[in-house]
């Protein structure tokens, strides 16, 4: 396990609060999508929503740790709940989810030739958020396969969690 430090200006959060990330829910699990402005956060969310995901929030997401379950919970800030900006069209209203447990974080990076995405990563990466390690996936949002890669990664992590059992041991 490699806990990763802050990426490209993305702060590590030890408490609760808003972070600069869009978020969708896939199979009742939240996925934080992080990256600088113009990196494709909303574009990737829109394609995931088209594939059946549900919007949690666009551009900013409130996160907190649930003391009962220990999960990091993602919610939309009240001022932008159910709203999504689509570049070139404006702000639209969409159905949205609230209070979803975070299963993964995506860091949007440039193309595959720039070294930002390892072809065969040797160790998984994690984002430290609310004093929890969240699995981190690096993707290029503008690759046609980005939504599929994310869905496969979520399926693989869910399978690994079932194999490992509740204590995280195989």
Interval 10-42: pLDDT, tens: 445 566 788 999 999 999 999 999 998 888 999
In the prediction, which pLDDT does 106 show?
94
Beta-carbon count within 10 A of 2 CB: 11
- The residue ranges of the chain whose pLDDT is under 50 are 1-11, 164-170
- Separation of alpha carbons 27 and 7, rounded Å: 27
**Is 169 annotated as catalytic?**
no
Spot the catalytic one: 114, 119, 162, 169.
Answer: 119
5 class by beta-carbon count within 10 Å (0-12 exposed, 13-18 middle, 19+ buried): exposed
Spot the catalytic one: 43, 47, 58, 59.
Answer: 59
**Is 20 annotated as catalytic?**
yes
The pTM is what? 0.83
In the prediction, which pLDDT does 112 show?
53
Spot the catalytic one: 20, 29, 112, 132.
Answer: 20
In the prediction, which pLDDT does 7 show?
44
**Is 131 annotated as catalytic?**
no
In this structure, which topology does domain 2-109+120-164 adopt according to CATH? Answer: Rossmann fold (3.40.50)
In the prediction, which pLDDT does 90 show?
94
Residue 28 CA: distances (Å) to CA of 54, 63, 79: 9, 16, 22
Query: Do 51 and 147 touch, CB atoms closer than 8 A?
Result: yes
What percent of the residues of the chain are helix, what percent strand, and what percent coil, each to the nearest 5?
A: 20, 40, 40
Domain ranges of the chain: 2-109+120-164
In the prediction, which pLDDT does 114 show?
53
**Is 71 annotated as catalytic?**
no
Classified as helix, coil or strand, 65 is strand
- Separation of alpha carbons 89 and 167, rounded Å: 46
């Amino acid at each position: 396990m490699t806990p990763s430090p802050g990426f490209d200006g993305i702060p590590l959060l030890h408490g609760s609060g808003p972070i600069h990330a869009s978020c969708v829910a896939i199979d009742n699990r939240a996925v934080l999508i992080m990256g600088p402005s113009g990196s494709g956060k909303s574009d990737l969310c829109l394609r995931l929503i088209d594939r059946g995901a549900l919007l949690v929030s666009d551009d900013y997401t409130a996160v907190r740790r649930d003391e009962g379950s220990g999960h990091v919970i993602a919610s939309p800030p009240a001022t932008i709940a159910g709203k999504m900006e689509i570049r070139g069209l404006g702000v639209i209203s969409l159905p949205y989810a609230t209070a979803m447990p975070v299963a993964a974080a995506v860091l949007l990076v440039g193309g595959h030739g720039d070294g930002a995405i390892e072809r065969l990563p040797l160790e998984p990466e994690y984002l430290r958020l609310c004093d929890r390690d969240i699995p981190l996936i690096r993707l290029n949002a503008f690759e046609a396969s980005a939504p599929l890669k994310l869905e496969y990664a979520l399926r693989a992590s869910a399978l690994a969690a079932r194999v490992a059992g509740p204590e995280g041991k195989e």
